[in-house]
Amino acid sequence: MELPSQVKLVEVGPRDGLQNQPVMVSIAHRVELIERLAQCGFSAIETGSLVSAQRIPQMANSEIVYQHIHQRPNAEYIMLVANQQGLARAISCQAKTIAVFCAATDAFSLNNIHCSIDVSMASIQTIVGQAKEKNMAVRGYISCVLGCPFQGVVQIDKVCELAAKLYEYGCYEVSLGDTIGVGTPLQVIELLSAVKKVIPTDTIAVHFHDTYGQSLANIFAALQTGIHIIDSSVSGLGGCPFAPGASGNISSEDLVFMLNGLSIKTGVNLDELIATSWFIADLLDRPPTAKVTLANAAKH
């Protein structure tokens, strides 16, 4: 069995992780979290999202957060945008990398952003084009690739179609999200085998939620297909405000521990990551969900 010798980890905690938390984190602490994660060795970090503060108040002031980060060279600091207004805000705060998102079902798209997939993709095409004119890099996300909370089964052909369009529009990576965490390893292999036929393997990322405890197994399956870009969240933070029942993302600590055991390079220092996990967990007044972090504490 051949696995990648190294992987790129995309830390989504400061955005996807915090957006569903009941505790509001201050601007200063959001900046500190991002800088701690960069110190851990992450080369790509979601910093926030430029969306309605009424809908997702946890992401208010994301521009201010972005502008206060001491950015490291050769690192990606990613800002999620939902529409033209979000893009204008990203341009205003001089974001270098943005992310756009769509869903693999109309049901989820209508519940999340109140429009069909077709309308969403037309908007994304315009946003990506305008962003590229400003020399911004664009990452694409597809939600609900292995199951939808409203529709159930998701067609692989639809995921492939959307991935191909995002790549054609100019996205440098396409992250495939199992938003409600229902996928299992054989489904992951089947999906990725299909997507690899329409866009290059080097542009495919995976993003697993751990609702049913399948994330590490699914990531191991993805590694076997040659995928080497993985989204994860410090302390296992996450969930989707618009996906009933969705729990947190795969924890960065558990993922790095597994990858270390497979002799796959990540560039991430696990001890510093565990310390960062406790930092954000203490701010949120909740224990980490990462088993590695809790096991490490039990030893002391």
Contacts of 97 (CB under 8 A, 6+ apart): 76, 77, 78, 79, 136, 137, 138, 139
**8 Å CB contact between 51 and 80:** yes
Please tell me which residue in 40, 144, 148, 240 is annotated as part of the active site: 240
**8 Å CB contact between 265 and 202:** no
**8 Å CB contact between 149 and 244:** yes
d(CA 229, CA 10): 7
Residue 184 DSSP code: -
Question: Rg of the chain over CA atoms, in angstroms?
Answer: 18
| Interhelix angle 270-284/27-40, nearest 10 degrees | 160
Query: Helix, strand or coil for residue 115?
Result: coil
Q: How many C-beta neighbours within 10 Å does residue 42 have?
A: 26
Residue 111 DSSP code: H
Instruction: Tell me if residue 40 is catalytic.
Output: no
Measuring CA to CA, which residue among 46, 155, 167, 60 is closest to residue 103? Answer: 155
Active site residues: 240
